[in-house]
A and B are shown apart, each in its own frame.
Chain A
């Protein structure tokens, strides 16, 4: 149980285009989903917290107009990287929270912007 999927697992896009990444909780309902960014050999950096039916809460330094987050249902959150640039290339990971002590993580999406 408690499986979180992400789609796509790997995407390459041209600079200036937008990319959407989906995060789904497959067998449970998640009131809260989180989006992280992971650089090579670095920790996960929380980008934003997404609550179903409300606006996402972004961490300091994260551009909300560049990283659009939508949490339209209890099983789906999406992250759209708008006008992507090479510096946005990274590994994006989502997680879904079911209670105060535990989050379940997706396998991640590798974004490469050329």
Chain B
């Protein structure tokens, strides 16, 4: 079945540091890939997505590239801010009629000033 593995946290960085959160997946067919962010006390929000190989999703300075050859979708940001502190979830959807999402375990990011 489908599965997502992402690096375990917590990750603690200083403001303006470079961020990488690794994510690899196992899926049948050609899934769509997502990064969701959960700020404290809030629901998950879609951060970015990529629907086919070599696509790059980007939003709010975050980027991730769909690498089919390495089955990866690593999240990066060149300069993190305190406001980026949140839990980040990598997820995939194999499509079909019910848009089922499979999530990784989440990575807690804390950015210190």
Contact = CB atoms under 8 A, between A and B. Distances in A.
Interface in B91-109: 93, 95, 98-106
B105 A43 contact: yes
Contacts of A104: 46
A54 to B, nearest CB: 11
B99 A103 contact: yes
B43 to A, nearest CB: 4
A32 B42 contact: no
Contacts of B43: 4, 6, 93, 105-108
Interface string B66-107: 000000000000000000000001000101001111111110
Interface string A13-48: 000000000000000000010100000011110100
A4 B46 CA distance: 13
A101 B49 contact: yes
Interface residues on B, range: 20 to 34
A95 B46 CA distance: 12
A49 interface: yes
B20 interface: no
Interface in A72-114: 93, 95, 97, 99-108
A51 B96 CA distance: 14
B44 interface: yes
14 contacts: A32-B98, A43-B89, A43-B106, A44-B44, A51-B98, A95-B44, A95-B101, A97-B98, A100-B95, A100-B99, A101-B32, A101-B49, A102-B99, A106-B43
Interface of B: 32, 36, 41-46, 49, 51, 89, 93, 95, 98-106
Interface of A: 4, 6, 32, 34, 41-44, 46, 49, 51, 57, 93, 95, 97, 99-108
Given A97-B99, A99-B99, A105-B45, 17 more contacts: A32-B98, A34-B101, A41-B106, A42-B106, A43-B104, A44-B44, A44-B101, A44-B103, A49-B100, A51-B98, A93-B44, A101-B93, A103-B99, A103-B101, A107-B41, A107-B42, A108-B43
